[in-house]
Chain A
């Protein structure tokens, strides 16, 4: 692909940022308006094609949440609210302005919560298959229980083409596999109970006064279309776009489509 030739795979560089007692792993690269990418439960891969492609149009800032990747996790932290405060401080410290805030899955929860607390540095908000609210009936989980689902079934729920996304742990280093395990662990720490949501968030979303776009993959059976529509209705003026032939991570399964939707919304 021509896109691959023009996207520098090493455009995003790794660095560290100390925020109080959190030693944060941070990736940054590219030129243009600032895009703060908040990853989901799987963490952030700086070599991911979508990151390099975004870096052609944006100054991409991609921190690892505490407890993900190699970011430290202080004992006092245990919630998405903690992550929100870390990101607010990060924007302040790096003096990020007019930020296009993109959050995927768990990161979407962080981004939405952040925007209800302090959107001063945010220009636009993009939520990719976000979790974080409870809108369905009391007797049914809005998000299927990922902690009671086998790895294979979870892959099927979250992928357009599961077999292509199956990780090969035998080809990864111990350190890489350790990070996968650690990411799962921290996900459970913050999303266990209440499961995948903060009961208060849906009541606060009405205060978000930034242009907001929801993106979701057509084949995402973890975060359903109905859930995303209900989420979008709670944020004034928000709209939903569906990316065809993608699951829970359209940024991975339809890279170009994802990048162009993000760029178009950021420009518009």
Chain B
């Protein structure tokens, strides 16, 4: 298993929750202090550089119109990292291509980063969360269809090397595609897609891309990975799904002592608790299934975590949303999770959030690199446990 250091790059100096209607989409940016923001960008980049020095991999992501992730253009961060890091695999998870109307431009950006990093790009694509839709002014209907058509076009752009080709799809139309540069990795960088639904996971499995799932816990993650395997088999793919096709993201904090590990994780929970978003931004019509909407209309609720949610650390540890403690404890937590879900090859470790300071973030990163990562790299599924 490989470990990717991930931070959403939050601007965490928020007003009191009662003073704003939504942390996403509509929070006025007068609350953003560009001077503090500049320091934060440098700090988060430093932490990714330290992760690289320590032999860990790197993940960046993208959200819009929100202080919870002030990274509305992940390729910009990634381009800095492509130049300044030496060894780390660089995962972007991902490009919200259902919301970007120029897939060819995305293909160009990713090819540039792959070349600058000399072939270290892990290229993720996401349908994106519902509150991205108003910011992108993107239609919440048919997003999966747009995403996959855009991906087809991007793959075609990466792999055509004999001059222009044309593409006339349902959503995207190009008469002359001929990107420069082409990717460093051949035929193209590894493709990742995030999904947590049955049909979504099956679709990723059928395509054989790497699937990533976020904070879905023991049973939710097993459900996602099982559906991935189902889609893989149904598409007639050879052999069993290997760990390198499967990724899981959790909040991770490693300390010298259990107390220190828990204290760090407690600060990471900021990420779960600061998500006050009204229903109309969480449920734009067409984004969620009709079944989910029947429930939403009857209960007024969407999803499992409502605004005002106060996470409990022990509960989050028990569900597999958080791994924390000493290196040995965290190894055992991950091993138990790993066996439960039938193995996975990529830990997307959210190691910084909210008020977790730089020194504490780096301390955990060092312990992960020195004490945890070598053991995780050796992980193999204990089949009895997996059954």
Residues of A within 8 A of B (CB): 75-76, 78, 147-151, 169-170, 174, 177-178, 180-182, 184-189, 192-193
Contacts and interface: CB of A to CB of B under 8 A. Distances in A.
Nearest to A76: B170
A148 B140 contact: no
B284 A180 contact: no
Given A182-B290, A189-B286, A192-B140, A149 B280 contact: yes
B166 interface: no
A147 B25 CA distance: 12
Interface stretch (B293-301, B326-334, B361-369): B293-301
Interface residues of B, number: 23
B279 interface: yes
A150 B141 contact: no
Contacts of B281: 148
A147 B285 contact: yes
Contacts of B297: 169, 177, 180-181
B200 interface: no
Interface of B: 25-26, 134, 137, 139-142, 145, 170, 278-281, 284-286, 290, 293-294, 296-298
A170 B298 contact: yes
B278 A150 contact: yes
A148 B134 contact: yes
B279 A188 contact: no
A147 B280 contact: yes
A151 B285 CA distance: 12
Contacts of B26: 148
A17 to B, nearest CB: 23
A192 B290 contact: no
A75 B25 CA distance: 29
Secondary structure call for the A interface: helix
A12 B238 CA distance: 57
A191 B278 CA distance: 21
Given A187-B285, A188-B139, A174 B294 contact: yes
Contacts of A193: 137, 139
A16 B85 CA distance: 63
A42 to B, nearest CB: 12
A228 to B, nearest CB: 25
A189 B297 CA distance: 19
Contacts of B280: 147-151
B298 A184 contact: no
Nearest to A189: B141
Contacts of B145: 75
Contacts of A151: 279-280
A188 B286 contact: yes
Nearest to A184: B285
Given A147-B280, A150-B278, A150-B280, A188 B141 contact: yes
A189 B25 CA distance: 20
Output the residue of A76, A148, A181, A187 with the most chain B CB within 10 A. A181
Contact of A185 (B25, B286, B298): B286
A185 B134 contact: no
Contacts of B298: 169-170, 177
B290 A178 contact: yes
B307 to A, nearest CB: 13
Nearest to A181: B293
A181 B145 CA distance: 20
B286 to A, nearest CB: 4
Given A76-B170, A149-B280, A178 B286 contact: no
A181 B294 contact: yes
Output the residue of A76, A78, A188 with the most chain B CB within 10 A. A188
Given A180-B297, A182-B290, A189-B141, A75 B170 contact: yes
B278 to A, nearest CB: 6
A179 B58 CA distance: 45
A148 B134 CA distance: 8
B15 to A, nearest CB: 20
Nearest to A147: B284
Nearest to B286: A185
10 contacts: A75-B142, A147-B280, A151-B279, A169-B298, A180-B297, A181-B290, A181-B293, A185-B290, A185-B293, A186-B141
A166 to B, nearest CB: 12
Contacts of A150: 278-280
A37 B284 CA distance: 28
Contacts of B139: 78, 188-189, 192-193
Given A148-B280, A180-B297, A184-B293, 7 more contacts: A78-B139, A78-B142, A148-B134, A177-B298, A181-B294, A189-B139, A193-B137
A143 B286 CA distance: 20
A188 B290 contact: no
